[in-house]
Amino acid sequence: MTVTRFAPSPTGFLHIGGARTALFSWLYAKGRGGRFLLRIEDTDRERSTEAAVDAIFEGMAWLGLAGDNPEPIYQTQRLGRYAEVIARMLAQGTAYHCYASKQELDQLRAEQQARKEKPRYDGRWRPEAGKILPAPPQGVKPVVRFKSPDEGRVVLKDLIKGEIVFDARELDDLIIARSDGTPTYNFCVVVDDMDMGITHVIRGDDHVNNTPRQIQILQALGAAPPAYAHVSMILGGDGAKLSKRHGALGVMEYRTMGFMPEAMLNYLVRLGWSHGDQELFTRQEMIEKFDFDHVSASPARFDMEKAYWVNHQYLKVTDPALIAPEFEWHLRRIGVDPDNGPALIAVIEQQRERCRTLAEMADKSRFFYEELSGYNDRDAARHLTPKSAPVLAALIETLGTSDWQPEALHDAVHGVAETLGLKLGDVAQPIRVAVAGMAVSPPIDHTLALLGRVRALARLQAAALKAGS
């Protein structure tokens, strides 16, 4: 069975790159009837925070990327297990104690640099057949090093990058436990991947250079290494490393900006993966079609305009009932009470053609739920003039007796235009400013229908007063 994992270090929120890695892992598992597991790599206690763990869960939950393990795995809860594996490796001779002091190692590095060599541990405490090691110095707590094979090659058959070959002589003996006994990063990853039965490690390509060591340690433990897929980084539209100035980086910021989670997934999956020239995918289609053969080995470019486009496509076609909870979140965020006005679904149906984001939709729909705080100055100056006063008066009269349904309202508005010999716009725009406070709104018949008779007429009356004054 395919088992993948997402293993964030909780040092900040869930950012775009992490979310894409999580999505790829999730899709790969789901598309193969496999499992997707969550692991929190929190052994770096200086940098890991509870708040970051929560922020990562929040982002994952919003995107609908749940782990299949009932509880995520926390590395800090597995210290006993790591100690056990280290003890086993020491006993088997695949790891050894190293007593070299910091000063000695600094000196070694300085000498190597002076000779223009790559700094590496020289194996001074590495046990070898026939080699006599010095007596351990008194009072020094040793680190534990992995005794890495010093000949041969490590072949990484990366599912995205292709084959990468490392010369074993390049890989020195990695510290797997510090002198205080705490295990190091690469070692924990290896033990976890082994214990969790991970078949496919999918992660950012900043980890490529960790991989040969991880493979060697797995082999030393008698475990078959998983397959690896190292995903290229995401660049900004200008080709520079993605940073804050290219737009929001945290997934939840995209929520605030008004993205639908499904649209976000769709946008993220296309950052590096393609399926012919198809741009829009349902979650199910992504699951069915995602593979690593079509993930690019070169960096993806972030394109905010495209993200907006994808979001708009989703807003236009998604069942409004599925949009409604997210829309409600946006209304509440800007202090609008969604219960104080028309059904959200009906508003979404009218607004979605004209809004690229839910934040925009919420802002443009305020007037359905709140009393107007005033009129847009420019629009009022244009449309609430003495000339429009009789138009508004005629409307109030006609609408007063109209059935309050879009069709009847449509006929009533057209009737007034005809009677007064005006173009439809000359009637519709004053109505818009009157009821919405601005000259943009959904079609006027629907806008009036959604607002309801009482609210609409009261606003028309207030506007008629202003226009006549």
d(CA 401, CA 281): 48
Report, in Å, the least distance between residue 84 CB and ligand GLU.
21
Report, in Å, the least distance between residue 193 CB and ligand GLU.
8
d(CA 15, CA 84): 34
Q: Does 215 bind ligand GLU (CB under 6 A)?
A: no
d(CA 220, CA 280): 45
Report, in Å, the least distance between residue 250 CB and ligand GLU.
15
Report, in Å, the least distance between residue 7 CB and ligand GLU.
4
- Out of 32, 207, 289, 333, name the contact with ligand GLU by CB under 6 A: 207
Residue placing its CB nearer to ligand GLU in the complex, 11 or 385: 11
Residue placing its CB nearer to ligand GLU in the complex, 204 or 237: 204
Is the backbone of residue 397 left (phi > 0), alpha (psi -120 to 50) or beta? alpha
Cβ neighbors of 151 (< 8 A, separation 6 or more) are 168, 169
Q: Looking at 119-127, 161-169, 197-205, 372-380, which segment touches ligand GLU (CB under 6 A)? A: 197-205
- 143-146 vs 175-177, strand pairing mode: antiparallel
Residue 403 structure tokens: 């059935």
* DSSP element (H, E) containing 317: helix 304-317
d(CA 25, CA 63): 13
Count of residues near ligand GLU by CB under 6 A: 9
- Out of 30, 78, 147, 203, name the contact with ligand GLU by CB under 6 A: 203
Q: Which of residues 151-190 bind ligand GLU (CB under 6 A)?
A: 189
Residue placing its CB nearer to ligand GLU in the complex, 97 or 207: 207
Residue placing its CB nearer to ligand GLU in the complex, 207 or 453: 207
Q: Looking at 75-83, 198-206, 336-344, 389-397, which segment touches ligand GLU (CB under 6 A)? A: 198-206
* AA identity, residue 445: D
Report, in Å, the least distance between residue 15 CB and ligand GLU.
10
Q: Which of residues 39-78 bind ligand GLU (CB under 6 A)?
A: 41
* Pick from 299, 227, 278: nearest CA to 20: 299
262 in Cβ contact with 23 (< 8 Å): no
Taking CB under 6 A as the rule, which mask of x and - marks residues 6-45 in contact with ligand GLU?
Answer: -xxx-------------------------------x----
Report, in Å, the least distance between residue 201 CB and ligand GLU.
6
Nearest position to ligand GLU, beta carbon: 203
* AA identity, residue 383: H
Report, in Å, the least distance between residue 220 CB and ligand GLU.
18
Scanning 64-205, the segments in alpha helix (DSSP H) are 79-92, 102-114, 185-195
Report, in Å, the least distance between residue 8 CB and ligand GLU.
5
Partners of 203 in the beta sheet? 230
Cβ neighbors of 206 (< 8 A, separation 6 or more) are 233
Q: Looking at 3-11, 58-66, 135-143, 411-419, which segment touches ligand GLU (CB under 6 A)? A: 3-11
Q: Looking at 5-13, 233-241, 255-263, 387-395, which segment touches ligand GLU (CB under 6 A)? A: 5-13
241-247 LR contacts (CB < 8 Å, sep 24+): 242/16, 242/17, 242/302, 246/302, 246/304, 247/302, 247/304
Q: Which of residues 347-376 bind ligand GLU (CB under 6 A)?
A: none
423 catalytic per annotation: no
3-state secondary structure string across 42-64: CCCCCCCCHHHHHHHHHHHHHHC
Marked catalytic residue, from 102, 244, 306, 316: 244
Cβ neighbors of 355 (< 8 A, separation 6 or more) are 312, 315, 361, 364
Residue placing its CB nearer to ligand GLU in the complex, 120 or 207: 207
Residue placing its CB nearer to ligand GLU in the complex, 26 or 327: 26
Partners of 165 in the beta sheet? 155
Residue placing its CB nearer to ligand GLU in the complex, 183 or 338: 183
- Which are the catalytic amino acids? 244
Residues in contact with ligand GLU by the rule CB under 6 A? 7-9, 41, 189, 201, 203-204, 207
